C-alpha cells in the first residue's frame, strides 16, 4: 500500500491507482467532449463544465464496452484528462472521483485509476414508518448515497407504526394506517408515556414515481419493503378482517414487536397480491422486500383458520406455517417478475425457492443461506445498524442501544461482508451489504444526517474497495478531510472522535 502522502483523497478508495508522472492543472472554465455519449451532459453538470465538440475538451469521454458495469478508468496526464466507462453509472462514478480530486487541488497528479466495485449490492436502508420523512429529505438522502457510490435504496415503507405508501385499491391504508395518535416519549417503556402529538404522512403514487425516477438518474435502484406477516398493525388498523382476532386494532404508538399479525386466510393473500401488484407498477426494481422478521406465532396457534390450514397442508407447527406463508408470497412476487428479499427469519421452516436472505441477526443466517444456494445481503446489527449509539450514550443524542452494541466509525469500517468460512462458490452468493437506518429515535432530517454521517462513508468503502486496499489509519485521514467538506456544505455530520 502506498504511503499516506501518496493516497488520493477519495472515498471509497479505488481498486487500482498507478502514478504516471506529470499531471495536469484543471482550468477555471473546464469543458467536456463526449463523442456523442448519452452521459456526457451528466458528466459536464457534475464537473460544472460545458460540452464542446469531440476531442477538444479538458475531459474526454470514451466508451469502453469491455469494462464491467459501474467500472471506470480515469487517466490524468499533461495532455489532459480521459475517462472511459461502459455505462452511465461508470461515467458518473468517474466524474465524481475527478470532481473530488479537483476540489482537493486543481493541480491534478499524473495518475491512472482503474476502478470497479467489489460488490454489486451497496445499499442504504431508511425506515419511514416509525418517523415519516418528506420527499425532499429522501432525495437528499439519495444524493448522499450517489456521492459515495451506494446503488441500492431499501425503502422501509410499512410497519406497526405507520403505512406510508398510497395503494389505490385499499385507500384506508393511508386514510387510517398512515396516522398514529401519538409517539412514545423517548424510552419511557414502563409505563408508556406518549407525547400527545399525532404523527402521520404518506407518499402518493405520484411522489413515489418521482422519487424512483430521481434515484434512477443517480444510478440507484429503489427496493420497496412491505412488511408481512408481522409488523402489520398499521395495515390491520385499516382492514381488521386481515387479522386473526378481528380487532379492533390501532396504529401503534410504541416500539417493539407486536403480537398482531396477518392471518393466513384467502382474503389476506388477495390483499397481498393486490398491494404488491400496485407496488410492482411503481418500482421497476428487480426486487421486492417483504419483511418476514419478528413474527409472533401466538395468534396463529389460537386461530381456527390458521390451524385448519396447518392440518390441510400437513404443517407440523406455526414455524412451518410461516414458511408456507412466505412461499405463497414468493409465488406472488415471482408472478410479478421480481425476486423476493426477506429478513433472515424467512429461513425458519424452509426457504422459498429463489428468495434472497437479508442477514441481520449476525452472519449465521447468511452463511447457512449461502450454503443452501441462496443469494445473501449481509446486514448484521453489530456492524450495520446506524440507529445505534456512535459513542458514549451519556454524551450522544438518544439512540438505540441493543444489549452489548454501540456502533462507532471504526467498527463499521472493520465490517467484512464475506465470512471466511465460506467456500469460493458460497462466497459468490454474497451480493453485498447495507447500512440500516431505523428511525424510532430519529425524527428530524438533522438527526438523520447525524446518525448516518460519517458512518455511511465507512460502509461505502467496505462495499466498494477491495479488502486488501483498506486500512483504518489511511481511511481515518481521508475521512477527516471529507467530514470538513460535508460540514462546509451544511450537512449535520457527527464530529470525529
The catalytic residues are 159, 231, 294
Report the alpha-carbon distance of residue 291 to residue 227 in Å, rounded. Answer: 4
How does 358-394 read in b/e, with b if 16+ C-beta sit within 10 Å?
Answer: bbbeebebbbbbbeeebbbbbbbbbbbbbbbbbeeee
Short-list 334, 422, 443, CA closest to 378: 422
Look at residue 358 and give its three-state secondary structure.
Answer: strand
Question: Is there a contact between 205 and 164 (Cβ–Cβ < 8 Å)?
Answer: no
Region class of 55: left (phi > 0), else alpha (psi between -120 and 50), else beta: left
Cα(494)–Cα(42) distance, integer angstroms: 31
Contact 159, 438 (CB under 8 A): no
DSSP character for 394?
G
> CA 434: distance to chain centroid?
5
Could you tell me which of 67, 79, 77, 82 has the C-alpha nearest to residue 33?
82
Cell 452468493 sits at which residue? 429
Amino acid at each position: 500500500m502506498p504511503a499516506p502522502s501518496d493516497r488520493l483523497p477519495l472515498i471509497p478508495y479505488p481498486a487500482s491507482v498507478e502514478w504516471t508522472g506529470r499531471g495536469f492543472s484543471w482550468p477555471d472554465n473546464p469543458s467536456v467532449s463526449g463523442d456523442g455519449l448519452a452521459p456526457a451532459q451528466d458528466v459536464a453538470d457534475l464537473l460544472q463544465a460545458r460540452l464542446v465538440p469531440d476531442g477538444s475538451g479538458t475531459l474526454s469521454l470514451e466508451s469502453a464496452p469491455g469494462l464491467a458495469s459501474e467500472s471506470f478508468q480515469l487517466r490524468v496526464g499533461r495532455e489532459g484528462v480521459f475517462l472511459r466507462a461502459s455505462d452511465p453509472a461508470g461515467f458518473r462514478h468517474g466524474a465524481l472521483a475527478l470532481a473530488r480530486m479537483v476540489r482537493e487541488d486543481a493541480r491534478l497528479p499524473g495518475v491512472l485509476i482503474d476502478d470497479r466495485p467489489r460488490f454489486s449490492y451497496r445499499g442504504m436502508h431508511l425506515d419511514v414508518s416509525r418517523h415519516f420523512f418528506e420527499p425532499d429529505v429522501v432525495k437528499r438522502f439519495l444524493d448522499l448515497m450517489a456521492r459515495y457510490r451506494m446503488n441500492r435504496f431499501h425503502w422501509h415503507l410499512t410497519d406497526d407504526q405507520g403505512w406510508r405508501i398510497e395503494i389505490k385499491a385499499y385507500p384506508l391504508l393511508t386514510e387510517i394506517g398512515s396516522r398514529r395518535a401519538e409517539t412514545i416519549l423517548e424510552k419511557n417503556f414502563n409505563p408508556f408515556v406518549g407525547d400527545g402529538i399525532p404523527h402521520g404522512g404518506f407518499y402518493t403514487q405520484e411522489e413515489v414515481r418521482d422519487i424512483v425516477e430521481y434515484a434512477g438518474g443517480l444510478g440507484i435502484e429503489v427496493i420497496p419493503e412491505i412488511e408481512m406477516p408481522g409488523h402489520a398493525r398499521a395495515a390491520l388498523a385499516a382492514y381488521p378482517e386481515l387479522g386473526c382476532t378481528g380487532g379492533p386494532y390501532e396504529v401503534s404508538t410504541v416500539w417493539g414487536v407486536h403480537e398482531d399479525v396477518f392471518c393466513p386466510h384467502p382474503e389476506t393473500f388477495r390483499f397481498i397480491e393486490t398491494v404488491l401488484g400496485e407496488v410492482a407498477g411503481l418500482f421497476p426494481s428487480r426486487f421486492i422486500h417483504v419483511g418476514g422478521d419478528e413474527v409472533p406465532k401466538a395468534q396463529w396457534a389460537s386461530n381456527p383458520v390458521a390451524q385448519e390450514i396447518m392440518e390441510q397442508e400437513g404443517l407440523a407447527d406455526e414455524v412451518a406455517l410461516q414458511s408456507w406463508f412466505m412461499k405463497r408470497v414468493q409465488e406472488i412476487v415471482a408472478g410479478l417478475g421480481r425476486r423476493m428479499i426477506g429478513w433472515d427469519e424467512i429461513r425458519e421452516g424452509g426457504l422459498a425457492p429463489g428468495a434472497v436472505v437479508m442477514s441481520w441477526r449476525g452472519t449465521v443466517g447468511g452463511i447457512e443461506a449461502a450454503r443452501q444456494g441462496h443469494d445473501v445481503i449481509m446486514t448484521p446489527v453489530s456492524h450495520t445498524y446506524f440507529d445505534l449509539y456512535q459513542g458514549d450514550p451519556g454524551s450522544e443524542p438518544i439512540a438505540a442501544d441493543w444489549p452489548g452494541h454501540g456502533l462507532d466509525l471504526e467498527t463499521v469500517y472493520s465490517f467484512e461482508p464475506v465470512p471466511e468460512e465460506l467456500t469460493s462458490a458460497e462466497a459468490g452468493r454474497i451480493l453485498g451489504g447495507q447500512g440500516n437506518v431505523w428511525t424510532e429515535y430519529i425524527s428530524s432530517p438533522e438527526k438523520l444526517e447525524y446518525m448516518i454521517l460519517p458512518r455511511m462513508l465507512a460502509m461505502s468503502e467496505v462495499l466498494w474497495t477491495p479488502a486488501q486496499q483498506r486500512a483504518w489509519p489511511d481511511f481515518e485521514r481521508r475521512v477527516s478531510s471529507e467530514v470538513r467538506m460535508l460540514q462546509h456544505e451544511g450537512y449535520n455530520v457527527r464530529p470525529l472522535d
